[in-house]
Amino acid sequence: MRANRGFALVSTTLILALLFAFTMIFVDSALSSRRAARVYQSGLSALQIAEAGINHALACLNATSGTNCGGTYGSSYAGQTDVTFGGGKFTLTLAASGSDKEITSVGTAASSAVATVKAAATIDPPTDEPAFNYALQAGNDGAHLENNAEIKGTLYSGGNVECTSTNARIDGDVYVSLAGGKIDACRVKFNGHADKILNSEIDVDAYYVNDPADIAGTDVDGTKHPGSATPAAQALPTVSLDFWRQTAEDGGTITGDYAPADNSSLGPKKIIGNLTLGQNVDLTVTGAIWVVGDIITENNSSLTLDSAFGAYSTAILADDPANTATKGKITIVNNTAISGSGNSKSHIMLITSNTSLSDTNPALSVANNASGAIFYAIDGTLRLQNNGGAKSMAAKRLFIDQNAEVEYKASELSDLNFSGGPPGSWKIKEGSWREAK
């Protein structure tokens, strides 16, 4: 009997010990869970505070005074230290990254937990970025230059380059990428590159195929290079017509022919009809313009890009997708002045999708003393008439009249950014928001 009682006592003690052990494990687990929850909550609080710091920095970048921003604001906003928020604080630092701002926000919770969030802020509007690398660029239908036409820069052509006489001058290189193509009767101040270079004056070197047949009638001041390969073909600048159509249409639509008043502004805007800039009318361009019809300017008119564009450029598009054969022409007449925002990198680009390859009825015509823009006839002829001027021209075919001048300045035309509107407010760049570990 005593043995049984002893066994029962041992069993009871063992059971109690096990129960106590399980209880302690449960209690410890519960306490650990609470501790983990507190740590998680502290980390979450720190992260939320850091994220609030990013939003605060964005607000200060767009602010018009330094109130609540530590004294600096706008694009000069320099960040802040130990800004109280939600029972904790955040510290902000900003670093320039090109035209963007890299924001770093360090959030500290009341528990001293720390989290860091980074994001990039940008003020840049959406852009299209066609490259205009030459003074003149022609497609497969080539280029024709009349007497005393002067090109201050390089001419690159997918078809023949023919001049009326050597009084037509190219102050740069000339390239013809057409197999069997030619440079004929031109004065080239630098190098000539074509399978045939005939009846021309080349001030530096000549690159051609057969000697002497393919250099007949040509004076070369430098070195002749017979047996040269045909220059590589260069595609015309790539322009996103859909980008410009949508950007202009986002600003609303005018139905019917439109003639803006003097000293008015226009853009972004779609016009279903013709756009006529009347005599002595000065128009400020405030955004992209899509004309589903023709564009005509009259004497002494002007197009000026709004100064808010800064270093950005924009486009005016003549484009009727339903009728590219006869509609969408651009006619720029005498003394029309076209200028950018005032920044040397800012320009207005006039584009036509008209397909006329006629020299007498071209897709895009620029008349006497008109100047100052980039002109582009994607699928047609671009004619620069007597005394006309331009910064850069590209077309399927180019026709340059007497005394017309194109002056290409690489410093003004490299790395162009074409936008449908001026830079706006600072915003967080999509995909740049991240937690730093």
For 101-150, write each residue's pLDDT tens digit: 999 999 999 989 999 999 999 887 778 878 899 999 999 999 999 999 99
Instruction: Give the tokens for residue 339.
Output: 């200028």
Pairwise CA distance, residues 362 & 175, whole Å: 24
122 neighbors 424 (Cβ within 8 angstroms): no
123 neighbors 63 (Cβ within 8 angstroms): no
Residue 243, pLDDT score: 93
CA nearest to 390, candidates 418, 417, 423, 367: 367
CB-CB neighbours of 85 under 10 Å: 15
Count of CA atoms in the C-beta half-sphere (13 A) of 31: 6
According to DSSP, residue 244 is labeled H
The SS3 of residue 61 is helix
Q: Are strands 83-85 and 88-97 parallel, antiparallel or unpaired?
A: antiparallel
Sign of the Cα torsion 119, 124, 129, 132 reads: negative
The SS3 of residue 383 is strand
Residue 24, pLDDT score: 52
- Mean pLDDT across the chain: 89
Residue 140, pLDDT score: 97
364 neighbors 354 (Cβ within 8 angstroms): yes
Q: Are strands 192-193 and 201-202 parallel, antiparallel or unpaired?
A: unpaired
CB-CB neighbours of 365 under 10 Å: 24
Residues in the chain, pLDDT under 50: 1-3, 7, 26-33, 35-37, 39
The rounded Cα 31 to chain-centroid distance in angstroms is: 58
Q: How many residues are present in the chain?
A: 437
Q: Is 301 exposed, middle or buried (0-12, 13-18, 19+ CB in 10 A)?
A: buried
Q: Residue 427 phi/psi, 5° resolution?
A: -145, 160
Express each pLDDT in 281-327 by its tens digit. 999 999 999 999 999 999 999 999 999 888 889 999 999 999 999 99
Residue 27, pLDDT score: 44
The SS3 of residue 37 is helix
Query: What Å distances lie between residue 414 and 91, 131, 233, 234, 423, CA to CA?
Result: 39, 7, 20, 17, 20
